[in-house]
Structure 1
């Protein structure tokens, strides 16, 4: 009786989707995970601030001189300020202002800068000369100095702070997208699209722009932290959001008048700024590592 050996052929494993592969690599990067966790915590705290804040009524013009300058305790986690308001509650609502500032500034600067970068990198010639020389001139002006000049002329407010920061923020994205577009425009798939009669708009927004998304994501993540820092700097100097609206920079400035005795009034809002800026920077570093791995394959 002959014996037959049955060999089980394994079916080839199903190819994992790119999204799952990216998520797997992202989840194995401690820096990216920590950064994303911090950003999610801040966003969650900002959205649900009315529910999480122990004293949501302290957001407005509330005065309680009996509770002024209280140190951190179980009743007031971050202590109270010079008029008796709970600092922790105001920090939670201050995150709303900071995130709104970053979203609006980048929402204005990124599309504008991306469009200019695409046009300059693809068309070249006089279009490139005009756009890039204008960008070079704008890059020579420090964003904080320009923001200070604009807000000093205008009435200090949240809207004017957004406009002041966005005035020059598009330059970095123009330079980035211009560099990527110049590298892509001579590749074969662009030449093939031109040969097939694709329109300029199709080539710019359907062929070139998707190849810029990874670099744009990293840049936006890093920029969000810097925008929040500049916004806090304007408020610290009295050129940003005005009291009694809770703003992290304003709280640091007000608390600095009572250092070192009442250190918590300035140090803890400053730590809140550091926390959110650190989160966006760690997230940006993680995304950069992720997309560098993908591009190297």
Structure 2
């Protein structure tokens, strides 16, 4: 039996083009010191959070452990970041606190990005009353500071990790709605969209197969920058007592508890605060590098 064999040349050429583009992007990324430093910080923090039970010297200090003989010890070889007011190793708790902060950022953005992107692409493509309704609701939500809304939601509900995630995600989708809406308005009159409409493509195909891929680079940059801000907002909630509750290790809670012993026992507050700075700095440097890599312009 004889079968038809497609010419593999176009497929090979397309694959070679994709590999060439990927190599060029990696070359540009590797030549950007800001992006490389940011990516290195993010990777180190992610690995430390994932491997926390195996790399921390005192993993049992994550829970309700008390050792008054070791309380308020300064940084040393035995306790790299010192100990807190009940004798727990601060370095171990900081690493586990990074895990909580990264989980918080991942869940919040995992909720906010799909909702905001879907609303923005629908409003930008359809226009008319759909655009008016979605964007006016978005404008109203944007007028409310995210931290104030998160404080209100967290104060009404019992303080815990899940409620902190919901509190921060309550308004975070608005930024992605505005971003994707602005990009979609620029793309909806482009030739490739008109060609898809002429060929009879469905609205869902046009929205999610033609327009959305052209928004991915901007969404990636925004997501990287947002990770740092979400971590800061989550730490602020915990600092005020409306986030993750003790004895669960959280960076904001550790800063708040250590502030009572400043300046004598500075390490109890300064070092967890430095971990927050380290996380936020890494994601912001990575976002700046991705913005330069994708040549993303600020969209208003």
TM exceeding 0.5: yes
Does residue 66 of structure 1 match 2:69?
A: yes
Does residue 277 of structure 1 match 2:280?
A: yes
Q: Corresponding residue for 2:157? A: 154
Q: Corresponding residue for 1:261? A: 264
Q: Corresponding residue for 2:230? A: 227
Judged with a 3 Å threshold, the aligned counterparts in structure 2 of structure 1 residues 125 and 15 are, in CA distance, closer, same or farther, namely closer
Q: Partners in 2 of 1:227 and 1:184 — Cα distance?
A: 29
* Preserved CA contact (<8 Å) 2:217 2:296: no
What are the Cα deviations for residues 65-113 of structure 1, in whole angstroms up to 9, with x where unaligned?
0000000000000000000000000001001100000000000000000
Q: Corresponding residue for 2:39? A: 36
Q: Partners in 1 of 2:21 and 2:183 — Cα distance?
A: 22
The Cα of 1:293 is off from its aligned counterpart by 8.0
Which structure 1 segments of 5+ residues have no match? 1-12
Secondary structure of the 2:295 match is: helix
The within-5 A match list for 1:96-245 is 96-245=99-248
Q: Partners in 1 of 2:202 and 2:218 — Cα distance?
A: 25
Q: Partners in 2 of 1:102 and 1:195 — Cα distance?
A: 41
Does residue 90 of structure 1 match 2:93?
A: yes
Query: C-alpha root-mean-square deviation of aligned residues, in Å?
Result: 1.4
Judged with a 3 Å threshold, the aligned counterparts in structure 2 of structure 1 residues 130 and 256 are, in CA distance, closer, same or farther, namely same
The Cα of 1:17 is off from its aligned counterpart by 1.6
Secondary structure of the 1:39 match is: helix
Which structure 2 segments of 5+ residues have no match? 1-15
Judged with a 3 Å threshold, the aligned counterparts in structure 2 of structure 1 residues 42 and 261 are, in CA distance, closer, same or farther, namely same
Q: Partners in 2 of 1:17 and 1:214 — Cα distance?
A: 18
Does residue 288 of structure 1 match 2:291?
A: yes
TM-score normalised by L of structure 1: 0.93
1:24 aligned residue (5, 21, 27) = 27
What are the Cα deviations for residues 140-196 of structure 1, in whole angstroms up to 9, with x where unaligned?
000000000000000000000000000000000000000000000000110000000
The Cα of 1:15 is off from its aligned counterpart by 8.9
The Cα of 1:248 is off from its aligned counterpart by 0.3
Rg larger for: 1
Q: Partners in 2 of 1:126 and 1:232 — Cα distance?
A: 39
Q: How many residues are paired up?
A: 282
Q: Corresponding residue for 2:253? A: 250
Secondary structure of the 2:249 match is: coil
Q: Partners in 2 of 1:166 and 1:280 — Cα distance?
A: 18
* Preserved CA contact (<8 Å) 2:48 2:95: yes
TM-score normalised by L of structure 2: 0.92
Q: Partners in 1 of 2:134 and 2:92 — Cα distance?
A: 45
